[in-house]
A and B are shown apart, each in its own frame.
Chain A
Amino acid sequence: MLEIKNLHVKLEDEDKQILKGVDLTVPAGEVHAIMGPNGSGKSTLSYVLSGRDGYEVTGGEATLDGESLLEMEPEERAAAGLFLAFQYPVEIPGVGNMTFLRTAVNAQRKARGEEELSSADFLKLIRQKAATLKIDSEMLKRAVNVGFSGGEKKRNEILQMAMLEPRMCILDETDSGLDVDAMRLVAEGVNALRSPDRSFLVITHYQRLLDHIRPDVVHIMADGRIVRTGGPELALEVEQNGYGDLLAEVG
């Protein structure tokens, strides 16, 4: 599904190398976690994969199902099946959540040459998906993320994911700012979307999200590289010993 080979990325405006040769493969149906200390390049990786401005790829490649992502516009990547759940979902006053989602869903369908959803079908679909995430119709009517609590914003991200049905989902610190109940709700939403042809890359500082979203593989990122890869037990190791020992070990 997702293949990243020797990816090198620097900041566009600064002479600062952030990713220094990332290699990562996420096969279809698997959930991979990336953990690592602050500044290791985790969020940069998610932004570069989804096409945010401000970064310059200086080497390597990233493909989704064999298609090169790095030359595509962000909206093309979305239509190709990539989704990024933001660490800080953006508030857009004056644009209704429903309008936003319908625009996004239909833009993607159009880009893929599929028929657009009718208002009725869209409404039916969103009501059903919102209900499982405990998002009420009042929240759907409000402007995108405006006045939402931290938990509501993250649930709204998962709702977008559920509506857009991407094949490759990247979750950037989705657990930040969530209390235990909100985290459980978000995790349930994610788990409900797990399927043999959908993969997840879960970026997190902490092990606790991984109690709820069980990863198949855990990667440790440090200084712009994947320095260790292992099973779920690697996350526990981090939780108990911190990154210090682990990184010292890697050298």
Chain B
Amino acid sequence: MMADTAVLAAQVPTVEGKARPGDAALAARLDALDLPRGGFTRAAREDAAQRLEAMGLPGARDEYWRYTDPAPFNAARPQPVELAVDETTLFTGIDRLNLVFVDGRFDAEASDALAAEGVQVESLAAADAGADHWAAGLYGRLETAGQVPVKRPFAALNTLVAAEGVLIRVTGKVERPVHITYRRSAADADVHLHHLVQLEEGAELTLLETGSIGARSNVVIEADLGRGARFHHISAKRANDPKLGLGHIFARVAAEALFKSFTLSVNGSMMRNEAVIDIAGDDAVAHIAAAVLGDGDIGRFHHDDTVFVTHAAERCESRQVFKKVLKNGAEGIFQGKILVKPGAQKTDGYQISQGLLLDEGSQFLAKPELEIYADDVKCSHGSTTGALDETALFYLRSRGVPKERAIVLLVLSFLADALDEIEDQRLRDDILGRLEDWLTARAGNPGKASPGKA
């Protein structure tokens, strides 16, 4: 992709004498990246540049960066990380439309033909050569809306610099899931991807993401769900991948639509996933869930989920289910908010975040928030942190189940509520099988996992 530093030069903060401490970092950050000129995205990119300049990169004093150090994401370049064997085998037994990205570039050769009934699929880089596109109205729109009231500089950065991604427009009920498979070939790949999903009225799509994106990744998904649309999103990135990962999913959910997102994370280095869900139409449903396994022994493990669900319509339901299993100094963070706007009566909002600490060195920090401006709503939240239930462990062992196996069963039991958020049983079974294999392989082998083995 061609760099276009001319467009950006004016936006890089250079006001003499007024430079903020982070300005130099932002300038260095942008300097290290190729900045696409953009075709249909051009206006959105210019707008993002201005917004990014105004907000700057996050610092440790930002309210939503208190528990996660932004420094590795602020750094101009990522540390190169070991390349692991690509072992993505999830969902391969399912009829799906497979799209392959290597180091953040779409690989048409390795991908299925971009043709399926009821759905238009394109690569952003290919589409962005032109000026007119259906996605012009979506690119950056939900991201921009999601900057209020909490700023999300890396999402704005993504809108500015992402040259690649998938553009999906769904007009009907699509049976075959669209599967994005990420591969990595360079040890220092710093990848920005921006995916757009437009579901027209009554449309239905399942989007799967697996694999390893890069040494450092920044992925934005903007999903616009029309009336009565159904969107299922399942992300299960590569296990044991010592990467830095940032993800944002911005969704707008119209009346009677259903949004469901589930993320599985197994080790890694540092990950932060932000979800910004705007429930805009009456009788809509939005669920977001994650199952996280973190072992600090494989490498530093820090996993942050930051969720913001806004209820702006009547009789809508939202659920947040976040479960993190942590050991050997692993850190799990959950910051989850439910905002119920005036008039969003009969809202049913639910949020649960739980940490299962398998030793004393790990920690789980949760910051649940409810902000409610309607009087006829039902909102609840809960957060717990605890160790394995000794009584349950004894119960299983007393039946002859060996300790290691009993722990696997109890960890799966702990994660069950999150996994139940995957509606499609084939996909759930696939994820469950992967989890069970992984846990079993790790059981009784508390030392380092061999790289390349899931």
A residues within 8 Å of B by Cβ? 50-53, 73-75, 77-79, 83-84, 86, 89-90, 92-95, 100, 103-105, 107-108, 111, 143, 160, 164
Beyond A53-B390, A74-B394, whether A111 also contacts B413 by CB under 8 A is no
Taking the complex as formed, is B402 at the interface, i.e. its CB lies under 8 A from any CB of chain A? yes
Q: A93 contacts which chain B residues (CB < 8 A)?
A: 413, 416-417
Q: B417 contacts which chain A residues (CB < 8 A)?
A: 93-94
Across the interface, do B405 and A107 meet the contact criterion of CB distance under 8 Å?
yes
Taking the complex as formed, is B387 at the interface, i.e. its CB lies under 8 A from any CB of chain A? no
Scan residues 381-403 of chain B and give those whose CB is less than 8 A from a CB of chain A: 389-392, 394-403
Q: A74-B397, A93-B416, A105-B400 are in contact. List 14 more A-B contacts (CB 8 A).
A: A52-B394, A74-B394, A78-B398, A86-B398, A90-B391, A90-B395, A94-B413, A94-B419, A95-B410, A95-B416, A100-B409, A104-B399, A104-B400, A143-B416
- Cα distance A73–B399 when bound, in Å? 11
Taking the complex as formed, is B438 at the interface, i.e. its CB lies under 8 A from any CB of chain A? no
The 8 Å CB contact of B397, one of A73, A86, A100, A105, is A73
Chain B proximity of A239: nearest CB distance (Å): 30
Q: A51 contacts which chain B residues (CB < 8 A)?
A: 394, 397-398
Beyond A92-B392, A103-B409, whether A108 also contacts B400 by CB under 8 A is yes
- Cα distance A53–B390 when bound, in Å? 8
Chain A proximity of B228: nearest CB distance (Å): 31
The 8 Å CB contact of A75, one of B392, B400, B412, is B400
Q: B412 contacts which chain A residues (CB < 8 A)?
A: 94-95
The 8 Å CB contact of B401, one of A77, A89, A104, is A104
- Cα distance A77–B403 when bound, in Å? 13
Task: Supply 24 A–B pairs (Cβ within 8 Å), ascending by A.
Answer: A50-B398, A51-B398, A73-B397, A73-B403, A74-B398, A75-B400, A75-B406, A78-B398, A78-B399, A78-B400, A83-B398, A86-B395, A90-B389, A92-B396, A93-B416, A95-B413, A100-B409, A105-B400, A107-B401, A107-B402, A108-B400, A143-B416, A160-B399, A164-B400
Chain B proximity of A69: nearest CB distance (Å): 12
B residues within 8 Å of A by Cβ? 389-392, 394-403, 405-406, 409-410, 412-417, 419-420
Q: A75 contacts which chain B residues (CB < 8 A)?
A: 397-398, 400-403, 406
Q: A100 contacts which chain B residues (CB < 8 A)?
A: 396, 399, 401, 409
Closest 10 interchain pairs by CB? A94-B416, A78-B400, A74-B397, A108-B400, A104-B399, A94-B413, A90-B395, A75-B397, A107-B400, A90-B392
Q: Which of B392, B414, B415 has the most A CB atoms < 10 Å from its CB?
A: B392
Q: B396 contacts which chain A residues (CB < 8 A)?
A: 92, 100, 104
- Cα distance A51–B393 when bound, in Å? 12
In the complex, the chain A residue whose C-beta lies closest to that of B404 is A75
Q: A89 contacts which chain B residues (CB < 8 A)?
A: 395
Q: B419 contacts which chain A residues (CB < 8 A)?
A: 94
Q: A84 contacts which chain B residues (CB < 8 A)?
A: 398
Chain A proximity of B394: nearest CB distance (Å): 5
Beyond A74-B394, A86-B395, A90-B392, whether A79 also contacts B400 by CB under 8 A is yes
Chain B proximity of A228: nearest CB distance (Å): 29
Chain B proximity of A112: nearest CB distance (Å): 9
In the complex, the chain A residue whose C-beta lies closest to that of B409 is A95
Q: B398 contacts which chain A residues (CB < 8 A)?
A: 50-52, 74-75, 77-78, 83-84, 86
- Cα distance A119–B391 when bound, in Å? 28
In the complex, the chain B residue whose C-beta lies closest to that of A101 is B399
In the complex, the chain B residue whose C-beta lies closest to that of A104 is B399
Chain B proximity of A116: nearest CB distance (Å): 12
Q: Which of B416, B417, B419, B420 has the most A CB atoms < 10 Å from its CB?
A: B416
In the complex, the chain B residue whose C-beta lies closest to that of A90 is B395
- Cα distance A78–B400 when bound, in Å? 5
Beyond A53-B390, A73-B403, A103-B405, whether A92 also contacts B397 by CB under 8 A is no
In the complex, the chain B residue whose C-beta lies closest to that of A82 is B398
Q: B397 contacts which chain A residues (CB < 8 A)?
A: 51, 73-75, 78
Q: B409 contacts which chain A residues (CB < 8 A)?
A: 92, 95, 100, 103
- Cα distance A77–B401 when bound, in Å? 11
Chain A proximity of B190: nearest CB distance (Å): 38
Across the interface, do A92 and B402 meet the contact criterion of CB distance under 8 Å?
no
Q: A94 contacts which chain B residues (CB < 8 A)?
A: 412-417, 419-420
Chain B proximity of A105: nearest CB distance (Å): 8
Q: A105 contacts which chain B residues (CB < 8 A)?
A: 400
In the complex, the chain B residue whose C-beta lies closest to that of A160 is B399
Q: Which of B389, B402, B406 has the most A CB atoms < 10 Å from its CB?
A: B402
Chain B proximity of A84: nearest CB distance (Å): 5
In the complex, the chain B residue whose C-beta lies closest to that of A91 is B392
- Cα distance A84–B415 when bound, in Å? 28
In the complex, the chain B residue whose C-beta lies closest to that of A80 is B400
- Cα distance A53–B398 when bound, in Å? 12
Chain A proximity of B335: nearest CB distance (Å): 25
- Cα distance A172–B401 when bound, in Å? 20
Q: B405 contacts which chain A residues (CB < 8 A)?
A: 103, 107
Across the interface, do B399 and A164 meet the contact criterion of CB distance under 8 Å?
yes
Across the interface, do A92 and B413 meet the contact criterion of CB distance under 8 Å?
yes
Q: B416 contacts which chain A residues (CB < 8 A)?
A: 93-95, 143
- Cα distance A84–B395 when bound, in Å? 9
Q: B399 contacts which chain A residues (CB < 8 A)?
A: 78, 100, 104, 160, 164
Q: A164 contacts which chain B residues (CB < 8 A)?
A: 399-400
Q: A104 contacts which chain B residues (CB < 8 A)?
A: 396, 399-401
In the complex, the chain B residue whose C-beta lies closest to that of A111 is B400
Chain B proximity of A82: nearest CB distance (Å): 8
Q: Which of A73, A74, A108, A164 has the most B CB atoms < 10 Å from its CB?
A: A74
- Cα distance A188–B152 when bound, in Å? 65
Q: B406 contacts which chain A residues (CB < 8 A)?
A: 75
Q: A90 contacts which chain B residues (CB < 8 A)?
A: 389, 391-392, 395
